[in-house]
Amino acid sequence: MREIIFDTETTGLDPRAGHRLVEIGCIELIDRRESGQTFHAYFHPERDMPAEAEAVHGLSIQFLSDKPLFATCVDELIEFLGDAPMVAHNAAFDFGFLNAELARARRPALDMGRMCCTVQMARKLHPGAKHSLDALCTRYGIDRSHRVKHGALLDAELLAHLYIEMTGGRQIGLGLAAESAAAARGSVADPVRAAAPPRPFREPRAHAADAAELARHAEFVAKLTGPLWHDSP
């Protein structure tokens, strides 16, 4: 199964107020494992960068001044996304900005049915707890020490690990490749199982009741008052 984990950075909170997408980071998962395929781009927002937004992600208008417009990269992004489900933290926010940019570029909007929101997942799994990306990384033991400011690709990487843990967990980077290779060679990956001696075959024992047990059962049934089966047609 192919899934896309993604995050965006913007000039503000509402695309309807003229705010724009300035960064997107996408990570491909195949069967809940990172495939190594990513998409990352910065975009010129065609407007100023509010100080409060820059304080969050550190992207100045000077830095973005030589970056391409969203419309320049839109086809490459659409190709990478394909028709896979798309996972984001507070996904309605990211989908809103992406669809606003797609509309400007005269491309079809993303189907909201593809959206998977890890905030909504966290609310169901941990009601009453904090559901920020930082708080959930702490809860699940995901290292975020290198996260000084928000960044789309970095946050998508953290979210990929978080999503994997929230949907059952994988031992990321802890020998899964070696185990898969061992399985492909027909060997046993579990050393405990490999060392265990073979068990002797035992014939299955009979489970039928003997004559004495049947007699005791009949005596017990005879003492029942108004059993339901007497009312059956």
d(CA 101, CA 74): 9
* The predicted structure's pLDDT at residue 205: 63
User: In this structure, what are the phi and psi dihedrals at residue 122, rounded to the nearest 5 degrees?
Assistant: -65, -35
Name which residue leads in pLDDT, 230 or 49.
Answer: 49
Instruction: Report how far apart, in Å, the C-alpha atoms of 213 and of each of 163, 200, 210, 216, 227 are.
Output: 55, 31, 5, 5, 21
Q: Give the per-residue pLDDT at 179.
A: 45
Q: What integer pLDDT is reported at residue 219 of this predicted model? A: 86
pLDDT for the residue numbered 226: 75
Please give the DSSP secondary-structure letter assigned to residue 60.
-
**pLDDT value at position 208?**
74
Supply the residues annotated as catalytic. 150
Domains recognised in the chain with CATH numbers: 2-173 (3.30.420.10)
Give every CB contact of residue 137 below 8 A, 6+ residues apart in sequence.
143, 144, 158, 161, 162
Q: CA Rg, the chain, in Å?
A: 28
Q: What pLDDT sits at residue 54? A: 95
Look at residue 3 and tell me whether its pLDDT is greater than 80.
yes
Among candidate residues 44, 7, 22, the one with its CA nearest the CA of residue 152: 7
**Annotation-wise, does 52 bind a ligand?**
yes
Instruction: Identify which has the larger pLDDT, 72 or 191.
Output: 72
Neighbours of 123 (CB within 10 A): 13
For β-strands 2-10 and 21-30, DSSP reports them as: antiparallel
Q: What is the pLDDT of residues 112-153, one digit of tens each?
A: 999 999 999 999 999 999 999 999 999 999 988 777 678 899
Residue 7 annotated as part of some ligand binding site: yes
Q: Is the dihedral of CA 52, 154, 99, 131 positive or negative?
A: negative
Assess whether pLDDT exceeds 80 at residue 206.
Answer: no
Q: How far apart are CA 165 and CA 171, in angstroms?
A: 9
101 is in an annotated binding site: no
Rounded Cα–Cα distance for residues 31 and 22 (Å): 30
Query: Rounded mean pLDDT of 9-23?
Result: 97
pTM: 0.71
Across 203-220, average pLDDT: 78
pLDDT at residue number 188: 41
Per-residue pLDDT reduced to its tens digit, 170-201: 644 444 444 443 443 344 444 444 445 566 66
pLDDT at 212: 85
Strand 86-88 to 115-117 pairing: parallel
3 labeled binding residue: no
> How many angstroms separate the CA atoms of 126 and 54, rounded?
31
Please indicate if the annotation marks 66 as binding a ligand. no
For residues 73-97, give the mean pLDDT: 97
